[in-house]
């Protein structure tokens, strides 16, 4: 099974990825966790370019760099793991591109869909958990964790995070549109619930998905 997590920065995805991995492993499943961009030697270098570089990158350049990292990861790591029967939990996948480069940066959504199709080789998640948080709450979480004053021009933020509040509002709105367009695949969860509550919701949705796919194959 391919399970993906989505949401704006600071929504608590990585906590949920860790909790879900443990849960699935305890039930005897083989689980691989990954995050985008990155995950192969080349993709990690692309990640550095995208997040750490202080150079300006054009929106199309940014789109193609995320896509290049994804193509590497899908072909070299995700596809082989799924073929071996492992579950793969992925922190961000093509919905991030639609939300950030499409709704956030304003790139053409049809062009994006085509780039996403090429970069994923047509691979689609079995289920996606979208953790919903406002940009204000996400920023507050990030800075309060580090006991720092809240600021969008802080040195603490990476290249994407420095894109500003308006950008993050568009990204969040984009996620809402993506989610409401694909309710069968995307489970929308309020990220302000406690980690334990969110985990319970995720486990319940997964049990339903596994039951449904069992029914379909019988």
Q: Which x/- pattern, by CB under 6 A, does the window 53-72 give for ligand TYD?
A: -------------x------
Cα–Cα distance measured from residue 82 to residue 87, given in angstroms and rounded to the nearest whole number:
6
- The one among 3, 24, 37, 102 contacting ligand TYD by CB under 6 A: 37
Min CB(218)–ligand TYD separation in Å: 36
Which is nearer to ligand TYD, 109 or 160 (by Cβ)? 160
Contact 104, 115 (CB under 8 A): no
Query: Where in 76-105 is the site for ligand TYD (CB under 6 A)?
Result: 91-92, 96-97, 100-101
Q: Quick check: 35 binds ligand TYD (CB under 6 A)? A: yes
Segment interacting with ligand TYD (CB under 6 A) among 34-42, 74-82, 145-153, 189-197: 34-42
Burial 59-71 (b: 16+ CB within 10 A, else e): eeebbbbbbbbbb
Cα–Cα distance measured from residue 39 to residue 57, given in angstroms and rounded to the nearest whole number:
21
The residue with tokens 């150079």 is 55
Total residues contacting ligand TYD (rule CB under 6 A)? 14
Min CB(25)–ligand TYD separation in Å: 22
Ranges assigned E (strand) in 81-204: 87-91, 127-132, 186-190
Local structure of 203: helix, strand or coil: helix
19 class by beta-carbon count within 10 Å (0-12 exposed, 13-18 middle, 19+ buried): middle
Tokens (6 digits) for 6: 């989505």
Q: Which x/- pattern, by CB under 6 A, does the window 4-33 give for ligand TYD?
A: -----x------------------------
Residue 97 φ/ψ region, left for φ over 0, alpha for ψ in the -120 to 50 degree band, beta for the rest: alpha
Q: Which x/- pattern, by CB under 6 A, does the window 174-193 give for ligand TYD?
A: --------------------
Cα–Cα distance measured from residue 181 to residue 17, given in angstroms and rounded to the nearest whole number:
24
Which is nearer to ligand TYD, 101 or 215 (by Cβ)? 101
- The one among 32, 81, 113, 160 contacting ligand TYD by CB under 6 A: 160
Contact positions toward ligand TYD, by CB under 6 A?
A: 9, 35-37, 51, 66, 91-92, 96-97, 100-101, 160-161
């Amino acid at each position: 099974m391919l399970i993906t997590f989505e949401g704006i920065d600071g929504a608590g995805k990585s906590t949920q990825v860790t909790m879900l991995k443990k849960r699935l492993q305890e039930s005897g499943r083989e689980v691989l966790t990954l995050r985008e961009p990155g995950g192969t030697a080349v993709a990690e270098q692309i990640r550095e370019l995208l997040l750490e570089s202080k150079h300006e990158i054009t929106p199309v350049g940014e789109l193609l760099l995320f896509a290049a990292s994804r193509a590497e990861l899908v072909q070299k790591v995700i596809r082989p793991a799924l073929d071996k029967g492992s579950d793969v939990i992925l922190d961000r996948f093509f919905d991030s591109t639609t939300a950030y480069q499409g709704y956030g940066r304003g790139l053409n959504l049809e062009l994006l869909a085509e780039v996403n199709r090429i970069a994923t080789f047509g691979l689609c998640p079995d289920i996606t958990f979208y953790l919903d948080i406002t940009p204000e709450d996400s920023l507050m979480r990030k800075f309060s964790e580090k006991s720092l004053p809240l600021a969008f021009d802080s040195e603490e933020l990476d290249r994407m995070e420095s894109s500003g509040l308006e950008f993050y509002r568009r990204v969040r709105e984009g996620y809402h549109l993506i989610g409401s367009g694909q309710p069968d695949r995307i489970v929308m969860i309020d990220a302000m619930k406690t980690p334990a509550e969110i985990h319970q919701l995720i486990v319940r949705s997964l049990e339903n998905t596994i039951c449904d796919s069992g029914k379909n194959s019988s």
